[in-house]
Structure 1
Amino acid sequence: MLDLLRAWDLAQEDLLIFAPEDPLASAVEKLLARMEAGGGTPCGIVQDANGRFLGTLSTHRALRAIGQAIQTVGAFEASPQVDTDRAVHAVCRMVGGHTVADHMYTKSLQVPPSMPLHEILRRFADSMGHFAVVVEAGKALGLLELDDIFKTFAQEMLSDKPTPI
């Protein structure tokens, strides 16, 4: 049964969509709402006006942008007289004015919808990534997390019924 599973069978279809020109603060707000709702992956798809896949923006990338800005200004290394909270807030607001294009990841693992599970697993192992974008004809159709693959194999491992051979 596992040999019949393809990328499309496991992909999440409820995608967060961002445009490259979207403010980072707007994207962060959507990522946060997704996390708080507990549904879907904390990653969004960046596409152009024609729906062509350009990259991804994850919570990791957004936090990295904030962290780099905080390090650059040295907000936590300042003297005790400096109001650190206010300095960090100002830096976060400044980074929020950046665009999604400034911080999106353009080298995301891409897989076709028809790719078999064993090949997806190999690609994840080779890339050391945590998610793959299911892409066909330049358009993102879904998102596949490493957790989705793990869940599939874990359920098989813990199942009382073996998959028919």
Structure 2
Amino acid sequence: MMLRKRAWDIMRDEFPAVQEDASMAECVRVLRDAIRENPDNFVVVVKTKGGKLAGAISIWKVMKALKQAVLRDENIKNIESVDWDQAVRHACLTCTQLRLEDFIEPDVPKVRPNDAALVLHDVMAKARKSWCIVMEGGKAMGVVFLSDLYREMTRDMLRVC
């Protein structure tokens, strides 16, 4: 059964997405909403104005942007007298004003709708990502997370046992 599963069987066709000219604040909002709805939904697809795939922003990229904002904050350099709550608020504000394009991962793991489940596994493993984007005609049709693939694979395993 597992060998017959295809990307289009497993993919989520509703996934978080933003336009490439969106702000980091918008990306953060979209990602927070996605995580609230489904905790393992931790990547935002970035599209061009024409709807083509520009790349993706993972939760790791958002955290990297926040870290960069914190490290840039001059208030933090004077450790003895830092108001940490204020410094973090300032860093968060700075982070949301960063350019999204500086954090887009353009080379994302991609699969075709008809690719078998084992191909999805290989693509994710080679890319060292726990997600891949299902593409057709240059457009993102869906996202498959490792947790989705795991559920499909173990469902079949449990039927056999």
Q: What is the CA distance between 1:69 and its match in structure 2?
A: 2.0
Instruction: Output the aligned Cα RMSD.
Output: 1.8
Q: What is the CA distance between 1:100 and its match in structure 2?
A: 2.2
Q: What is the CA distance between 1:75 and its match in structure 2?
A: 5.8
Q: Partner residue of 2:73? A: 73
Letter in 1 for 2:91: V
Letter in 2 for 1:153: M
Q: What is the CA distance between 1:144 and its match in structure 2?
A: 0.7
Letter in 2 for 1:42: F
Letter in 2 for 1:151: R
CA distance in 2, matches of 1:141, 1:22: 20
In structure 1, list runs of 5 or more residues that go unmatched. none
Letter in 2 for 1:84: W
Q: Partner residue of 1:88? A: 88
- Give the alignment of 1:126-165 within 5 angstroms: 126-159=126-159, 161=160
| Residue 122 of structure 2 is aligned to residue 110 of structure 1 | no
Q: What is the CA distance between 1:57 and its match in structure 2?
A: 1.4
CA deviation map 1:97-127 (0-9, x unaligned) = 1232221111110111111112222222222
**Matched residue count:** 161
Q: Partner residue of 1:60? A: 60
Residue 80 of structure 1 aligns to a residue in which SS? helix
| Residue 48 of structure 2 is aligned to residue 48 of structure 1 | yes
CA contact (8 A) 2:3 2:116 kept: yes
| TM-score normalised by structure 2 residue count | 0.90
Q: What is the CA distance between 1:27 and its match in structure 2?
A: 1.3
CA distance in 2, matches of 1:29, 1:92: 13
CA deviation map 1:66-103 (0-9, x unaligned) = 01221233765532212121112111101101232221
In structure 2, list runs of 5 or more residues that go unmatched. none
- Give the alignment of 1:32-43 within 5 angstroms: 32-38=32-38, 41-43=41-43
